[in-house]
Amino acid sequence: MLRVRPFRDSDLTLGLKLSTQAGWNQIAADWRRAYDLQPDGCFVAELDGAPAGTATACVFGPVAWVALVLVDVTLRGRGVGTALMRHTLDFLERQGVRSIRLDATPLGRPIYEKLGFVAQFELARYHGTLPAGDPVPGVATATAVDHEALVQLDQEVTRTDRRKLLLRLFAEQPGATRLVGRGAVEGFVTERIGANAVQVGPCLARTEEAGRRLLADARHRHAGRPVFIDVAVDNRAAVRAVTELGLTVQRPLLRMGRGEPIIEDVPSLWASSGPEKG
């Protein structure tokens, strides 16, 4: 028998086990963040009484993100993923959400299409070890005084109020967020440590110069370390910048939506925060 139940604090170990099994980049802090941001939006599927999969949702006002839809590799093809998604969508509809979004892997895309999700734009995950680089003038460490301006820029670009996510990221790694244009912010970038690589992003910039500076700064700070940078394929300037850093495409991702479409400012989206929250 297949049933979906609420995710519990004790399921954090299960989540990490499944993402590690799938070769994904999450660490324990990512699962803790997903659960803390929306405890009532996280779910576990059980098949014949045994844990079989997970799904998480995060509500940002009228917009929601679905993520971490994972099924144990030994139990795939038995309807677990679809059951998790239907349960999650029912939850979000009860919240009055008008737009539901996610970043799909090629494996998940057919499931999402059957549930009414449509393609919005393509992303590519770039991967590699960053070469050494010089310090970049005009890039500074963000402080708490800057956070409101960064949240506002993020909302302008993503058309979503992701305040609770961003403030959580800023708090987790004080000093890791960098900006161009203190007082009149032209762009910012932050990152999180992953199991396989540093996930650089979100990176948002009003101009190509600001975007290039921020990625060059990330190169300087993370030289010699493996990184992931999820870039919108239609942002040609960002694609050129990461390619010039010597990074190559590891895998494609597809941003999909259900309900009212959200039209992001893709030229200003230099790197996504990752599939968990866009």
Is 84 found in the same domain as 130? Answer: no
Residue-wise pLDDT tens digits, 175-232: 999 999 988 999 999 999 999 999 999 999 999 999 999 999 999 999 999 999 999 9
In angstroms, rounded to a whole number, what is the distance separating the alpha carbons of residues 68 and 43? 10
Are the beta carbons of 228 and 125 closer than 8 angstroms? yes
Residue-wise pLDDT tens digits, 131-171: 999 999 999 999 999 999 999 999 999 999 999 999 999 99
Is 236 found in the same domain as 140? Answer: yes
What does the pLDDT read at residue 25? 97
Is 143 found in the same domain as 87? Answer: no
Is 186 found in the same domain as 230? Answer: yes
Are the beta carbons of 11 and 17 closer than 8 angstroms? no
In sequence order, what are the residues at sequence separation of 6 or more whose Cβ sits closer than 8 angstroms to the Cβ of residue 148? none
Are the beta carbons of 11 and 44 closer than 8 angstroms? yes
Give the CATH number, domain containing residue 266: 3.40.630.90
Residue type, 199: Q
Structure tokens at 217: 């700064």
Residue type, 167: L
Is 142 found in the same domain as 87? Answer: no
235 is a domain residue: yes
Is 169 found in the same domain as 33? Answer: no
Is 258 found in the same domain as 179? Answer: yes
Is 91 found in the same domain as 142? Answer: no
Is 135 found in the same domain as 80? Answer: no
What does the pLDDT read at residue 55? 98
Of the residues 97, 113, 141, which one is the last residue of a structural domain? 97
Residue 48 has phi, psi (to 5 degrees) of 55, 40
Residue-wise pLDDT tens digits, 56-90: 999 999 999 999 999 999 999 999 999 999 999 99
Give the chain's domain count: 2
Note down the domain range covering 39: 2-97
104 is a domain residue: no
pTM assigned to the model: 0.96
120 is a domain residue: no
Are the beta carbons of 173 and 190 closer than 8 angstroms? yes
Which of these ranges, 60-64, 91-95, 105-109, 240-244, has the smallest mean pLDDT?
Answer: 105-109
- How many residues are present in the chain? 278
Is 139 found in the same domain as 81? Answer: no
Q: Write the burial class of residue 137 (CB in 10 Å: 0-12 exposed, 13-18 middle, 19+ buried).
A: exposed
276 is a domain residue: no
**Which residue, 53, 254, 228, is CA-closest to 127?**
228
The sign of the CA dihedral 94, 163, 254, 74 is negative
Residue-wise pLDDT tens digits, 228-256: 999 999 999 999 999 999 999 999 999 99
Is 144 found in the same domain as 228? Answer: yes
Give the CATH number, domain containing residue 82: 3.40.630.30
Is 12 found in the same domain as 72? Answer: yes
User: Hunting for tokens 């942002």 — which residue is that?
Assistant: 235
What does the pLDDT read at residue 183? 82
Residue 107 pLDDT greater than 90, yes or no:
no
